[in-house]
Structure 1
Amino acid sequence: METAFNKPKFSWQEYFSDKKKGGHRYSTEEFLFKEAREKLFHLRGGRSLLDFGCGAGELLIYYVPNYERIVGADFSSSMLFEAEKKMWQQNYKNVDLILADDETIWEKLSLPFDRITATAVVQYLTPQQIDAFIRHASEYLNEDGKIVFFDIIDPRLYSLWKMGWFSQNFKLWKTLPKTGFGLLRQTSAILKNRPRDIIGDAYSPYFIEQIAIDNGFKMEYVKSMYYEYRYHAILSRN
């Protein structure tokens, strides 16, 4: 009989094991092109790129023409399979895809990068994992390189977004039932050893900045153009 003491621990790897889409707001080519263009602007060049958490390659496919060497990594084999199909269809030869998580990726790399990026990944990492990721990434970063975390959930705005604050039809009285239902879902998730919100954790910019500073980086904070409750953290060496 399953009890609170022998419940299997929730695993994000298992959750994404059969997923085939990266969870972008829209899956249209027009939207993904715009989203990729915004991210390329913040990456600001470089000749080599590591895209950790590349997922199904929805953004990676737009990054590839802008770099001489690219590595895409993800811990979901189903996602990587979709990414591989996209690269094959475009006949891209300058990209390697690697099955790895935030711990195993580093042992599979042999060369440093000008840019290391991760989109909507931080929400699935613990504070200790974020710190370790930045520390390891710094060892594979060229002298003038940057680490860029895209689309981090902002806890100051996410609750408002869930309430519908940014909607044109926002009505405060309509949000009360949602709030009550949300509390019930969170309580149920805790009891079932599931994440309280399947979208993952939220970290304030100040929290990420402090981890960056502790690892010898300075951080630039930029709001996302296409997700009201997310922001980008651009890390460069002090």
Structure 2
Amino acid sequence: MGIAPKKSKFSWNEYFSDKKDGGHRHSTEEFLNKEAKEKLLHLDGGTSLLDFGCGAGELLIYYAPCYEMVVGVDFSPSMLDEARRKVAVNKYDNVCLIKADDKTVWNEVSSLFDRITTTEVLQYLTFEQIDSFIETASKYLNNDGKIVFFDIIEPRSYVLWKIGFFSKRIHYLKVLPTIFVELFDYICASLSNSPKDIIGYSHNPYKIEKIANKYGFEMEYIRSIYYEYRYHAILSRKLPL
């Protein structure tokens, strides 16, 4: 995929400004239905849901029948247009769509939620942004609510995926050169504090857990079923001793 362009010449807002696809592994209804069922299992109930980074609404339309209120948020106008189309086709009257990013979203919502979730979003946020998001999101969460981050890129598994470790056939002659290139890209990205490639940042789960603990949450770490190099982080408030 290559190293991401320098920040001075690149922004995620511009990159997603005309996108109409959330980037799921498959866009078929059968696959999205199965992926949504996995995520609904981990969301584990509640009556109100904030889906931050809802994209084109591929998963949101499967969440909607399970909640009394669903708020979908994204900063891409084209993604939101596609999400509105899907919501209209399914005639969901319990869904509200909002244009906002990780900072402005909290100015656009006024209610508390049982669940606040994201899917493939943390890869576009730095640890500082994730820290701020969790701190503020906790103030919009009901007492027994949860924050659920889906499909975070796990650094070690991502490297294995890129060198073909999860493929049916591994080309061993290509492994060492690929590892060298990946290591070089990783060092360069770390020194410049920028995403390693266009897919965004990968995040060590223990660092996410450290942030969660900082704001009074316990974190459950779960491997993603449909993406070999991703994991889910379920944040629940710590129970009193």
Q: TM-score, normalised by structure 1?
A: 0.91
Which segments of 5 or more consecutive residues in structure 1 lack a partner in the other structure?
A: 1-5
Q: Is contact 1:10-1:194 (8 Å) kept?
A: no
Instruction: Give the distance between the partners of 2:149 and 2:185, measured in 1 at CA.
Output: 29
SS at match of 2:8: coil
Amino acid of the residue matched to residue 40 of structure 1?
L
Which gives a bigger RCO, structure 1 or 2 (Cα 8 Å, sep 6+)?
Answer: 2
2:67 is aligned to 67
Work out whether 1:81 is the aligned partner of 2:70.
Answer: no
Structure 1 194/147 Cα, relative in aligned 2: closer, same or farther at 3 Å? closer
1:175 deviates by 2.8
User: For residues 20-99 of structure 1, what are the structure 2 equivalents within 5 Å?
Assistant: 20-99=20-99
- The number of equivalent residue pairs is 232
2:3 is aligned to none
1:205 deviates by 0.9
Q: Is contact 1:124-1:201 (8 Å) kept?
A: yes
Work out whether 1:217 is the aligned partner of 2:217.
Answer: yes
Instruction: Give the distance between the partners of 1:10 and 1:20, measured in 2 at CA.
Output: 19
1:106 is aligned to 106
2:207 is aligned to 207
Amino acid of the residue matched to residue 8 of structure 2?
P
1:233 is aligned to 233
1:14 deviates by 1.0
Q: Is contact 1:56-1:80 (8 Å) kept?
A: yes
Instruction: Give the distance between the partners of 1:44 and 1:188, measured in 2 at CA.
Output: 40
1:231 deviates by 0.3
Identify which range, 151-160 or 178-187, moves more after superposition. Answer: 178-187
Instruction: Give the distance between the partners of 2:215 and 2:177, measured in 1 at CA.
Output: 43
1:172 deviates by 1.5
2:162 is aligned to 162
Work out whether 1:121 is the aligned partner of 2:124.
Answer: no
Instruction: Give the distance between the partners of 2:67 and 2:156, measured in 1 at CA.
Output: 35
1:213 deviates by 0.3
Instruction: Give the distance between the partners of 2:59 and 2:76, measured in 1 at CA.
Output: 16
Amino acid of the residue matched to residue 141 of structure 1?
L
Instruction: Give the distance between the partners of 2:31 and 2:155, measured in 1 at CA.
Output: 25
Amino acid of the residue matched to residue 156 of structure 2?
R
1:223 deviates by 0.3
SS at match of 2:169: coil
Q: Identity of counterpart residues, as a percentage?
A: 64
1:3 is aligned to none
Amino acid of the residue matched to residue 103 of structure 1?
K
Instruction: Give the distance between the partners of 1:26 and 1:230, measured in 2 at CA.
Output: 16
Instruction: Give the distance between the partners of 1:124 and 1:77, measured in 2 at CA.
Output: 17
2:136 is aligned to 136
Q: TM-score, normalised by structure 2?
A: 0.90
Q: Is contact 2:159-2:182 (8 Å) kept?
A: no
Q: Is contact 1:186-1:197 (8 Å) kept?
A: no
Amino acid of the residue matched to residue 125 of structure 1?
L
